[in-house]
A and B are shown apart, each in its own frame.
Chain A
Amino acid sequence: MAEFFSTYLPSWLAQLVTGLIQCVILLHVPLVGAMFFVWVERKAAARIQDRLGPTRVGGMFGWLQLLADGLKLLTKEDLRPQEADAMLFRLAPYVGFCASFTVFLALPFSDGWVVQWLDVGVFFILAVLGLEVFGVILAGWASASKWSLFGAMREAAQVVSYEVPLGMCVVVPVMIAGTMDLVAIGRMQEGLFTNWFIFHDPFTFVIFFVYFTCGIASVNRAPFDLAEAESELVAGFHTEYSGFRWLIFYMAEYGSMFIVSGLAAILFFGGWNGPIPLADLLGLTDANGELAGYLGRFLGMLNFVFKSVLGVTVMIWVRWTVPRLRIDQVMTMCLKYCTPIAAVMFLGATLWTYTFPGGVTGLRGTPYGTVRGVSAQRVELSDLTPATEDAEGAAGEGSDNKPAEEHAGDVAAAAADGEAAAASTPSGPLSIATFASSRARSR
């Protein structure tokens, strides 16, 4: 897009305009997403509770309910307690929302479809997501309400504690992939669903559940929603908020939920790669033209969004099923269970990757990014050269891509033949990473 604008505008302005347009488009993801999730939550909760939920607004399924909700909230009076710190009180929702929104910048929705392609995407997401707690603490402090303060203190204690196991869980797929680049991590899981990192080894399988638990805790969803525990703290940190400011807190929460499940989808469930490489089988790759590649990536985005929404739905399901934990139990869970389990799993995954660099079973024998037969066929179509040779060629072609570019040439040969590499790959993670990235499609 920047190139398009730079034909008419000076380059700095083109960059600025591009950035603004991307921001505006991206802003709709958490906003519309939040509204959609509010509707999903209301519907799912209603079904779980043997009710119908919204049925009237907008005809079928009450799908316009979200708009009615939004309108209602917008027209509500923007109340502020007299004792409240006016500036901080007004600022707090935006701090929370900005943190949640900024994360979307680094979240790839499909292969290469990411606003800001970062080498350290995982790190960035975790770091910025952790900033959301500031909004909550500010809100709790500035409200001048004791209940809000309780909520804020709980949130601070909880989120800061859960950063530790959450980080450790995220490190495992990063370690297996050998990169923090989310696009590269996603590409490594191409092919059949057996290539997904959750099925990489028993440790990643376990750690996914630890990750999901910690993720729920870090976005303050039940049973860890202590910061807004309505039976104890009235509404916790947003007790004093009303109308639009309250709505912003809500959007931030749903945005964070989406991010946590999206991150889980990329790190453990292959991101935009479906259980079977449908786009490849249909020939929707860059090799068959730009439109085909675009369609393939669009399918990938649907995959990714589906997985993320599924994760959010599970969170909703959990919320409406189980009671809430107590603060000491939440901390116990973090420090006595989640952190040690994550540490042990990390160690286990390390040893596993060291011992079986190419995997143990026949299925695992192929390097990431290939499916026996399918991959060979696809490459054959694209390059019209024998399957064993083309990876090298692809590496040369694709080396203008961002991740791990410098390794591409020298390890590509080792990883070139999928079948052979199973037995003899010298260094698992490195070769795997570079192999996949060498096959990276153009951005």
Chain B
Amino acid sequence: MATQTGTAFADDPRIIEYDVRTDEMLINMGPQHPSTHGVLRLVLRTDGEIVSEAVPHIGYLHRCAEKIGENLAPRQFVPYTDRMDYLAGMNMNLGWALAVEKLMNLEIPEKAKHLRVIIAEMNRIASHLVGMGTYGLDLGSFSPFLYAFREREKILDLFEEACGARLTYSYLTVGGATHDLPATWLEKCEAFLDQLLPVITEYHTLLTTNAIFVRRAANIGVMSAATAIDFGCTGPVLRGSGVDQDLRRDGEQWYTEMYDGYAFEVIVEKDGHYPKDHEYPAIPKTAVLGDCWHRFYVRMLEVIQSIDLVRQAIDRYRTATGSHCVPVKLNQKLPKGEAYLETECPKGQMGFFIVSRGEAIPWRVRARSSCFSNLSVTHELCRGCLLADVPAIVGSLDIVMGEIDR
């Protein structure tokens, strides 16, 4: 199949063959492949184990979410945002809600803002845990995946208690949240955070500093800061390349005011070091800024950062005034105009664009997917890598097909 007997050119005296002539092989990775994170299809052009080209084909999970949004009231569209990045439904809800609120110029109470920070950061932890676990899976290490899911399960339990759902929450909605947090929820959340922090150290020993893991991830899929910016990469993928951008700090006022007064540092490498507020393992010598290892590491550190943010938010929520939401009627007319807002989701910058003609139902809805841009860099990173590096690179981008195809 891969080799060819040299009969075709045997008569041509000008061609001298020094080696076994080999053919390139086109091979479909996906859409039913175990490590393409859903229904991604990569068409690989391989020469033996070496991949000369990797072209992502998308669209297998397209559900016309944006078109549906043009037929529903903004509050009705919230469940559809859940199904975009289904690993971080809360963050999707939040992005949509903020965009609609921006259009309506709707100020929400202090308490609702802190509640949103708690919930959004908790979901960021959950999403990064899945990202970490599946990355281990991509590299052939099964157990960390289940450890990560064990911890995520506890977050889901908390979410279930808060809103009744475990995956598609529709909890953060236009005007705040559907319910206030139940009694004793904050205590449970704090207990969980106390328990999670030491566990992260275990993950570092299992993956981050594991010799085989470092060999598989360090200096693989190196993406320069310029490439990352050119391809519109965002989130941990961008920060893993050393670009200091985080919308929670650098975003629009409408979004960043949620985080006003919170103490946190953007997780990005500066002079060979990451911001330290916890005991972290050192960067291995073989790791290069922008490789898979750094992207993975940024996520691991963001978990710790989010733990800190949730703790701060809990303190503020306890003393905050106001309600958990301002009531918004389902058929409330939207003001004429348009609004676009990007938020910092676990996977990157997720933007929602909404245009209204003054009716209750928006005229146009559009989502800017972070994973879509992050995935587009696959072709660039996979050129000339080995077959086994393809899952390593795609996994380090931490994509969710639901968000890409929408």
Contact = CB atoms under 8 A, between A and B. Distances in A.
A150 B140 contact: no
A13 B87 CA distance: 69
B141 A326 contact: no
A49 B143 contact: yes
Contacts of B35: 230-232
Contacts of B143: 45, 48-49, 320-321
Interface stretch (A194-202, A221-229, A389-397): A221-229
A225 B146 CA distance: 20
Nearest to A150: B387
A222 B34 CA distance: 17
B140 A229 contact: yes
A292 interface: no
B119 to A, nearest CB: 26
Contacts of A51: 146
Interface string B376-401: 00000000001111110000000000
A376 interface: no
B216 A326 contact: yes
Given A225-B140, A322-B141, A329-B215, A232 B388 contact: yes
Contacts of B147: 49-50
Interface string B32-52: 011100000000000011000
A327 interface: yes
Contacts of B138: 231
A388 B274 CA distance: 72
B330 interface: no
A231 B139 contact: yes
A327 B212 contact: no
Interface in A147-164: 147, 149-150, 153-154
Interface in A23-62: 45, 48-51
Nearest to B34: A230
A373 interface: no
Contacts of A153: 2, 48
A329 B215 CA distance: 8
Given A50-B147, A51-B146, A149-B1, A324 B386 contact: no
Nearest to A330: B388
B25 A146 contact: yes
A225 B142 CA distance: 13
A323 B136 contact: yes
Contacts of A223: 140, 212
Interface in B252-306: none
A48 B206 CA distance: 12
Contacts of A222: 140
A238 to B, nearest CB: 14
A323 B34 contact: no
Interface in B138-196: 138-143, 146-147, 150
Given A50-B150, A146-B1, A324 B391 contact: no
A149 B2 contact: yes
Interface size class of A (residues with CB under 8 A): 20 to 34
Contacts of A88: none
Nearest to B2: A149
Given A49-B143, A146-B25, A222-B140, A231 B215 contact: no
A231 B140 contact: yes
Contacts of B390: 232
B332 interface: no
A234 interface: yes
B388 A49 contact: no
Contacts of B49: 150, 154, 327-328
B141 A234 contact: no
Nearest to A51: B146
B197 interface: no
B141 A323 contact: yes
Given A325-B212, A328-B386, A329-B215, A232 B391 contact: yes
B221 to A, nearest CB: 13
Nearest to B138: A231
Contacts of B210: 322-323
Contacts of B136: 323
B309 interface: no
A149 B33 CA distance: 16
Contacts of B387: 150, 232-233, 327
B213 interface: yes
Given A223-B212, A225-B140, A231-B34, A326 B388 contact: yes
A50 B149 CA distance: 11
A329 B218 CA distance: 13
Interface string B67-82: 0000000000000000
Contacts of B229: none
A219 B72 CA distance: 58
Given A49-B146, A50-B146, A146-B1, A229 B141 contact: no
B185 to A, nearest CB: 25
Contacts of B125: none
Nearest to A146: B27
Nearest to A332: B215
Q: Which of B137, B150, B212 has the most CB of A within 10 A?
A: B212
Contacts of A326: 215-216, 386, 388-389
A51 B142 CA distance: 13
Contacts of A231: 34-35, 137-140, 391
Given A51-B146, A234-B33, A324 B139 contact: yes
B143 to A, nearest CB: 5
Given A154-B49, A329-B215, 7 more contacts: A45-B142, A45-B143, A49-B146, A51-B146, A146-B1, A234-B33, A323-B213
Interface of B: 1-2, 25, 27, 33-35, 48-49, 136-143, 146-147, 150, 206-207, 210, 212-213, 215-216, 386-391
14 contacts: A146-B1, A146-B27, A149-B1, A150-B49, A150-B387, A154-B49, A231-B35, A231-B139, A232-B388, A232-B390, A320-B142, A323-B140, A324-B212, A325-B216
In the complex, the 6 A-B pairs of residues with the closest C-beta atoms, listed nearest first: A324-B140, A323-B141, A231-B35, A323-B139, A49-B146, A326-B388
Interface of A: 45, 48-51, 146-147, 149-150, 153-154, 222-223, 225-226, 229-234, 320-329
